[in-house]
Structure 1
Amino acid sequence: MKIICIGRNYTEHAKELGNAIPEEPVLFIKPSTSLNTSSSFDIPSFSEDIHFELEIVLKISKTGKNISEEDAQYYFDEISLGIDFTARDVQSKLKEKGLPWEKAKAFDGSTTVSDFVSLNEFKNKEEIEFELYQNEELKQAGNSKNMLFNFHQIIAHASQYFTLEKGDLIFTGTPKGVGKVNSGDVLIGNLEGKKLLEINVK
């Protein structure tokens, strides 16, 4: 199982980090060892600036390669919420040197995922709302309609480079409002108003 992530997929998030708006999906991969299935997140010792990034996550339902945008709908039928925890201080140093982001993005426990929900439960699969609260304060509010590249475009693009396999996860990008986490924080992720994710930061 691999975890494919899309960077800078919301215009306002790209702007808040001072990044250019991409002309095609920005892809990076996390290893399975980054997946954290518990309800807690331990701040790693190598960073003093860990950020939360809430995202809609797709679960690939069957193997495919060079998938068209028209056929992409047949390769996932469940979504969830996930947090891509990012060592922003480490990432900034790597970006300055033109180096890969893995140390900042793919470290052990950096990927949390909620339970998955069937797409059939959503009235409008093109406009899915999601929110992140930090200690009961709203920090991120996103809607999938505002993505630069939609679910089908993401699947089609990623499958040009990587064979997508059943069980693979795709993080589809985070909206504006990312911020630092601190020990003792409680992070809540809502999908269409329903709480799906609760993480206690240690």
Structure 2
Amino acid sequence: MERIRNIYCVGRNYRLHAAELGNDVPTRPMIFDKPTHALAEAVGNEIELPGTRGELHYEAELVLHIARPYEAGVTLEQMVDKIALGIDFTLRDVQSELKKAGHPWLLAKGFKNSAILTSFHAFPGVDALQNTEFSLLKNGEQVQCGKINDVIFDLMTIITYISDHFGLDQGDIIYTGTPAGVGPIADGDVMTLVWGEENWGQFTAKMK
């Protein structure tokens, strides 16, 4: 896997996903990050995941690879050179307790192998990006499906917001939010990430 600098994630960027978890729809992007140790590549392999810290949920997402530093007036095509699919794994019980206490989400979101990533593919153009569905299969059955044009905050809004508040440069990646359908994963589940009709990555969960 190529070197990734920073991993930014957008929370609650699809209305139906916010609703399924009983959360309010945000009025500005909700950004959190993950350490680079969270990265794990989906290449037909087994990936170890925590099986003793409460329910673990998958959240499939489109992932952007940033090509250059942000400047006012740049286009999406100038900022993004590659895309991938990923899973933002979440320890849901841990997250619920952290939210109740008003604490950051890092324990629920930043553990090892919590940021699954397929191989990157060349940016397909704005039209293809907006009109192609991405999906997640669990043991061959579709559990999530979404299109990036269904997001609450569009991609340039997200890019600008992250740049303004945290900085953004070549080699950073952005998990852009998950559609409805998140759910638990169990030992031995085979997870497949699909762009259109193309299998972009697969792995088997090994719960420890």
TM tier, smaller: over 0.9
Residues 1:160 and 1:122: Cα distance change in structure 2 (over 3 Å): closer
- Is the contact between residue 73 and residue 152 of structure 1 (CA under 8 Å) also seen in structure 2? no
- What's the counterpart of residue 130 of structure 1? 134
**Candidates 33, 50, 60, aligned match of 1:54:** 60
1:165, distance to aligned residue in structure 2 (A): 1.8
**Corresponding residue to 1:159 among 150, 163, 176:** 163
- Corresponding residue for residue 112 of structure 2: 108
**How many percent identity over aligned positions?**
38
State the one-letter code of the partner of 1:56.
Answer: L
Q: Is the 8 A contact 1:83 1:111 kept in 2?
A: yes
Please, which of 5, 9, 29 is the counterpart of residue 5 of structure 1? 9
The equivalent residue for 1:172 is 176
Query: Residues 100-154 of structure 1: CA distance to partner in whole angstroms, max 9, x if unpaired?
Result: 1000001111111101111237753322310111111110010111001111111
Number of the residue aligned with 2:20: 16
Change (3 A) 1:68 1:31: same
- Deviation string for 1:32-69 (max 9, x for gaps)? 111112533222154121111000000011123xx446
What's 2:69 paired with? Answer: 63
Query: Partner of 2:194: helix, strand, or coil?
Result: strand
CA distance in 2, matches of 1:151, 1:141: 18
Which position in structure 1 is the counterpart of 2:189?
185
Aligned to 1:77: 81
Q: Which runs of 5+ in 2 are unaligned?
A: none
What is the alpha-carbon distance in structure 2 between the residues aligned to residue 89 and residue 23 of structure 1?
A: 25
Q: CA distance change for structure 1 residues 144 and 190 in 2, over 3 Å: closer, same or farther? A: same
Counterpart of 2:182, as a letter, is V
AA aligned opposite 2:15: T
Mapped partners of 1:41, 1:69: distance in 2:
40
Deviation at 1:197, TM superposition (A): 1.5
Matched residue count: 200
**Structure 1 segments (4+ residues) deviating >6 Å:** none
The question of whether the paired residues in 2 share the 8 Å contact of 1:5 and 1:29 is answered with: yes
> Relative to 1, partners in 2 of residues 1:101 and 1:46: Cα closer, same or farther, differing over 3 Å?
farther
**Shift in Å at residue 70 of structure 1?**
4.9
Letter in 1 for 2:205: V
Counterpart in the other structure of 1:28? 32
Among 140, 143, 160, the alignment partner of 2:147 is 143
Q: Match for 1:183: what amino acid?
A: D
Which residue type is aligned with residue 151 of structure 2?
Answer: M
| Letter of the structure 2 residue corresponding to residue 119 of structure 1 | F
- Alpha-carbon deviation of 1:199? 1.5
Residue 75 (structure 1) shift: 1.2
Q: 2:49 aligns with which of 43, 54, 74?
A: 43
